Amino acid sequence: MVKAIVGANWGDEGKGKITDMMAQEADIIVRFQGGANAGHTIVNSYGKFALHTMPSGVFYDHTTSIIGSGVAFNVPKFFEELNELIKRGVPMPRLLISDRAQIVMPYHILFDQYEEERLGKASFGSTKSGIAPFYSDKYAKIGFQVSELFDDAYLKEKLLRVLEAKNITLKYLYHKDTLDAEAIYQELLSYRDMLKPYVCDTSAYLWQAIQEGKNILLEGQLGSLKDPDHGIYPMVTSSSTLAGYGSVGAGIPPYEIKQIIAVCKAYSSAVGAGAFVSEIFGDEADELRQRGGDGGEFGATTGRPRRMGWYDCVASRYGCRIQGATDVAFTVLDVLGYLDEIPVCVAYEIDGEIVRDFPPTVKLEKAKPVLKRLPGWKCDIRGIRTYEELPENCRHYIEFVEEQLGFPITMISNGPGRDDIIYRNK
Ligand code: GDP
């Protein structure tokens, strides 16, 4: 059975924690898109980890972790993370890397920096991990698949051809030093040696695993609203963040994905620029940011403070729908225990009209939040393990959100740890 764990918001919903938790019952965990530009924070018996490229299943010795072909694969980052895990006492995970995955080239990272510099105030707030230049090259058909590293003559010829164009852009658009083909070639050869033990046809492996009835988790990065087709374009990421893309990026049949868990945070946060209708500012935002997540809402990759906002029913309903949620995991609910009243965005006002369907970006930019205030529960709900034990106002908040979403909230996360979870049978 294949399950997808994906974000219904702007990312940072707590997917890593849900994946780590569900990985207890899984045989295989697959990363199917994105790169080292975002991170999952996972707290378990080995400590607290920020994973950027590793699938969240790497802490278990019964799971195989896969880098699918849809990933922007940063080789040095991957090994840095692997070494860190080993150093901190995590047993060597079983890892497989798709021979069709493409490699983030050293120059992708440079181009990401240079383009953001060039754009200045109009920049995208990129994490400068090379993701946009990587996917641009992939679709321009000048990317490098892992398998190409193993053919010297092919690799060298292609590298020279690609660098010719890159160097013209570097010289004339960015006014920067040009690239040395031999140095990059040598770097790619070092990647090859590191990767060799892990590379295989992962879609064939997954096909076989599906035939054998294995439990497979597809782990998404970021969330619905950062999807290039359905998100807040152009302030989106460069690969699809949707469960539907899980079948493409992992290389499995779409009809095999039987459960889609849309992870939704009990309030909103976002990184980077872009419309964020329920955003809050000043002391109100600072307080939520400090109390949020596990030790504050600061980027797992960059450490930058996240933008904060109240729960947005319009964005989340859309986020769940576009994911095709069969289940909603409602996370970080414990954080809201300090509030007397909890504002929730139930609609947008755009040019005097009340709107309940998430609009495209040009309209979204003009939207103002319509807020409803729900009573708070004013206590710490961490440690509670059954739905009935939650304070009444807390259950009311969950049920109100569930009704607004129109998708069943079957899991409630009330702390960062693996066991901080309340299941609801729906
Ligand atoms: P991801 O990329 O979707 O996995 O999200 P992040 O890891 O960036 O952000 C989630 C943060 O919230 C992490 O620091 C988690 O440890 C933490 N977290 C996850 N679930 C909960 C929860 O239910 N309560 C609290 N307080 N923190 C949580």
Q: What is the distance between the alpha carbons of residues 377 and 393, in angstroms, rounded to a whole number? A: 5
Query: What is the atom index within ligand 1 of the atom nearest the CA of 38?
Result: 2
Residue bearing the CA closest to ligand 1, atom 28: 416
The Cα–Cα gap between 236 and 37 comes to 12
**Contact (Cβ atoms closer than 8 angstroms) between residue 17 and residue 57:** no
- DSSP per residue, 191-220: HHHHHGGGEE-HHHHHHHHHHTT--EEEEE
53 lines ligand 1 (CB under 6 A): no
33 lines ligand 1 (CB under 6 A): no
Instruction: Report how far residue 106's alpha carbon sits from residue 188's, in angstroms, rounded to the nearest whole number.
Output: 9
Q: What are phi and psi of 217, to 5 degrees?
A: -110, 130
Check pocket membership of 332 for ligand 1, CB cut-off 6 A: yes
**Which residues belong to CATH 3.90.170.10 in the chain?**
2-86+203-423
Cα(83)–Cα(270) distance, integer angstroms: 30
Q: Which of 12, 112, 137, 227 is catalytic?
A: 12
β-pair partners for 327: 261
CA 117 to each of CA 110, 122, 163, 284: distance values in angstroms, whole numbers, following the listed order: 11, 9, 21, 32
Locate 155 and state its tokens.
């690799």
DSSP secondary structure of 44-66: ETTEEEEESSS-TTTT-TT-EEE
Average pLDDT per consecutive 10 residues, the chain (426 residues; last block may be shorter): 97 91 94 86 84 87 95 95 93 96 96 91 82 96 97 96 96 95 96 96 98 97 96 95 98 98 97 92 96 85 87 98 98 97 98 97 97 98 97 98 98 94 88
Q: Is the CB of 40 under 6 A from ligand 1?
A: yes
The predicted structure's pLDDT at residue 300: 66
- Angle at the Cα of 331 from the Cα atoms of 39 and 424, rounded to 5 degrees: 135
pLDDT the model gives residue 40: 76
Is 52 a known active-site residue? no
At the topology level of CATH, where does 102-195 sit?
A: Adenylosuccinate Synthetase, subunit A; domain 2 (1.10.300)
CA neighbor of 17 nearest in space, from 381, 312, 333, 303? 333
Q: How many Å apart are CA 400 and CA 251, to the nearest integer?
A: 38
Short-list 301, 395, 385, 377, CA closest to 335: 377
The Cβ of residue 183 has, within 10 Å, a number of other Cβ atoms equal to 10
Sorted by sequence, the CB contacts under 8 Å of residue 364 that are 6+ apart come out as 232, 275, 277, 348, 358
Cα 14 to averaged position of ligand 1 atoms, centre (Å): 4
Name the pTM for this structure: 0.94
Q: Whose CA is nearest to atom 11 of ligand 1?
A: 293
The reply to whether ligand 1 has any atom less than 6 angstroms from the CB of 41 is: yes
Q: What ranges in 235-391 are assigned the alpha helix state H?
A: 243-250, 282-291, 313-323, 361-364
Q: Ligand 1: which residue has its CA nearest to atom 10?
A: 14
Closest CA to 220 of 344, 325, 147: 325
Residue nearest to atom 14 of ligand 1 (CA): 294
* Strand partners for 159: none
CA distances from 226 to 177, 210, 236, 250, 273 (A): 33, 29, 4, 19, 11
With CA atoms as reference, report the closest residue to 19 among 61, 69, 75, 65. Answer: 65
Nearest to 75 by CA among 50, 49, 48, 54: 54
Cβ distance 406 to 382 under 8 Å? no
- Is any ligand 1 atom within 6 A of the Cβ of residue 17? yes
**In contact, 297 and 265? CB cutoff 8 Å:** no
Q: CATH for 2-86+203-423, among 3.40.50.12780, 3.90.170.10, 3.10.450.50, 3.30.360.10?
A: 3.90.170.10
Mutate to test the pocket of ligand 1, among 17, 265, 268, 308 (most ligand atoms within 8 A of CB): 17
Residues β-bridged to residue 422: 412
User: Ligand 1: which of 13, 224, 263, 332 to mutate, judged by most atoms within 8 Å of the beta carbon?
Assistant: 332
Start-end ranges of CATH 1.10.300.10 in the chain?
102-195
Q: Of 20, 40, 137, 327, which residue is the catalytic one? A: 40
Verify whether residue 12 is a known catalytic residue.
yes
The CB of 16 under 6 Å from ligand 1? The reply is yes
Distances (CA, A) of 236 to 53, 223, 246, 275: 19, 10, 18, 11
